[in-house]
Chain A
Amino acid sequence: MFGLLESGFQFFTWGNALMLIIGAVLIYLAIGRKMEPLLLLPIGFAIMLVNLPIGGLMDYEHEIKAKKSGIVSRISVEEGRVFDKDATIVQADTGAIAAPVFGRVKEIKVKPGQQVEAGDVIAVVLTPQQTNQAEIPTKPIGLLAIFFSFGIMWQILPPLIFLCLGALTDFGPMLANPKTLLLGAAAQFGVYFAFFLSLLFGFSFNEAASIGIIGGAEGPTTIYVTAQLAPHIIGATAVACYSYMALVPLILPPVIKLLTTKKERAIYMKPTLRPVSKLEKILFPLVTTVIVILFVPASAPLIGCLMLGNLFRESGVVERLSSTAQTVFIDVMTIILTLAIGGTMVAENFLQVKTLLILVLGVVSFASAAAAGVVLAKIMNLFLKEKINPMIGGAGVSAVPMSARVVQVMGQQENKRNFLLMHAMGPNVAGAIGAAIAGGVFIGILG
């Protein structure tokens, strides 16, 4: 077993140091710049926790088994030592027995000269690596690994957060002006554009889908899809999604300005929307659930929970459930989810060229989503009697309610009489529904 007292210094790498800096930057952005603090602060802290070696918070246990019968000739990596992916752990006369993951040896189960049969466990190793469980089964033993496995991989936390978001969301502006659903749909172009680009950059289909869905600008959807399709890149996609959601005030304005004229940005929209009856608000989640899940069954966990949360809110008879979902429950879920996501960002997992590419493709996904929304709004204006301000198309990038707020601010800058917030909330919440459907489509095809 390990020594009586081990420190982390001997295992501390430059990668760990860089990750500590990244964690600290996220914490700074949360505290100093107030950027998505509910998310970036726990993610940043979790990054720091898992990059302090042998703390074991993100450890999984994996049993290395002999593939062929033979006699052990040498133990290549002693107990307590670290090793790289595919390193030889034990040498047998019939060949090397290698570890399919990086990590640290917990226990060697064989001795030199011992006969082993195919399938015998020769070593138990600890690894923070996210693996495909069908190929490399692991058992979570660290606290954050347990959060990740049972919260995210078991698909519990993202749908529950969607339930809370449903309780927080007023679909009224969208119901009052349902053509804005089309703008939310158009914004999903960004998802598929980034999917396509990712494939060109050499990512697999499952990875490309997980990268593309960043453009949906919904954290839980991104995490849900990536956990099912490409769990090994979940840290990068989640951080890209949440970071860009925080950076929407920087990403959206240049895209909108590039695609619109000053005159278009100044188009006046009446500040009041038609009143939506309570019955309509109650029927909407019921009808949407039935239609969407019949067409895209794989979206059932996300759409089902989103609409249930909204029914809590609009029914008016379960005030306690609605208020819990909007406050305490979403906070608890957020703490566990963000710690689990930050926990995946161990240096060996995160510091790869792939991560940088994912971050770049993520921003492309966001920008192209906003562009598609604006372009469709302009096309709609060719046919509409009462013109819409094309900037509200940019709010189809979900990031509720950040992108709608950005459009409101831009609208005020261009035309002081314009109050676009409620108009922009339509495509904004439609974008959230569209992203959940796009995620369901990916899972339905590739999952």
Chain B
Amino acid sequence: MVDMGLAVKIAAGGFGVVFFLLTILWITIGLTRVVAEKITKIMNK
């Protein structure tokens, strides 16, 4: 008999982790853009 409680935990938790991580990446990409622009400005000075 499959432990459905564990199954829900794995499915919901796993999907949550994927969503959370890709959201973090989204934010990071935004920050990376800002940092990259700053670095480029400094290098061009």
Contact = CB atoms under 8 A, between A and B. Distances in A.
Interface of A: 174-175, 178-179, 181-182, 184-186, 188-189, 191-193, 195-196, 199-200, 202, 205, 208-209, 277, 279-280, 283-284, 287-288, 291-292, 295-296, 430, 433-434, 437-438, 441-442, 445-446
Interface SS, B side: helix
B21 A178 contact: no
Interface string B22-35: 11111011101101
A433 B36 contact: no
A196 B11 contact: yes
A292 B40 CA distance: 26
Contacts of B18: 185, 188, 434, 437-438, 441
A315 to B, nearest CB: 15
Interface string B1-19: 0101011101111110111
A279 B40 CA distance: 8
A291 B4 contact: no
21 contacts: A174-B29, A178-B29, A182-B22, A185-B21, A195-B14, A196-B8, A196-B11, A202-B2, A205-B10, A208-B7, A280-B29, A280-B32, A284-B32, A288-B25, A291-B21, A291-B28, A292-B25, A296-B21, A438-B14, A438-B15, A442-B14
A433 B22 CA distance: 8
A291 B24 CA distance: 8
A296 B17 contact: yes
Contact of B17 (A181, A184, A208, A295): A295
Contact of B2 (A185, A199, A434, A437): A199
Nearest to A195: B11
A287 B15 contact: no
Interface SS, A side: helix
B14 to A, nearest CB: 4
B21 to A, nearest CB: 5
A445 B22 contact: no
Nearest to A295: B21
Interface residues of B, number: 30
A209 B15 CA distance: 12
A316 to B, nearest CB: 15
Contacts of B2: 199-200, 202, 205
B26 A181 contact: yes
Contacts of A178: 25-26, 29-30
A181 B14 contact: no
A284 B36 CA distance: 10
B24 A192 contact: no
Given A181-B29, A200-B2, A291-B21, 5 more contacts: A205-B6, A208-B7, A283-B32, A287-B28, A433-B25
Given A195-B11, A199-B4, A284-B29, A185 B40 contact: no
Contacts of B21: 185, 291-292, 295-296, 437
Contacts of B13: 441, 445
Contacts of A175: 29, 33
B33 A280 contact: yes
B29 to A, nearest CB: 4
User: Which of B12, B13, B21 neighbours the largest number of chain A CB atoms within 10 Å of its CB?
Assistant: B21
Contacts of B4: 199
Given A189-B15, A192-B14, A279-B39, A181 B32 contact: no
B28 A195 contact: no
A284 B30 CA distance: 11
Contacts of A181: 22-23, 25-26, 29
B14 A277 contact: no
Nearest to B35: A283
Contacts of B8: 196
Contacts of A437: 17-18, 21-22
A359 B7 CA distance: 21
A287 B22 contact: no
Nearest to B32: A283
User: Which of A192, A295, A430 neighbours the largest number of chain B CB atoms within 10 Å of its CB?
Assistant: A192
Contacts of B40: 277, 279
B33 to A, nearest CB: 6
Given A185-B18, A188-B15, A291-B21, A445 B26 contact: no
User: Which of B12, B18, B22, B29 neighbours the largest number of chain A CB atoms within 10 Å of its CB?
Assistant: B18
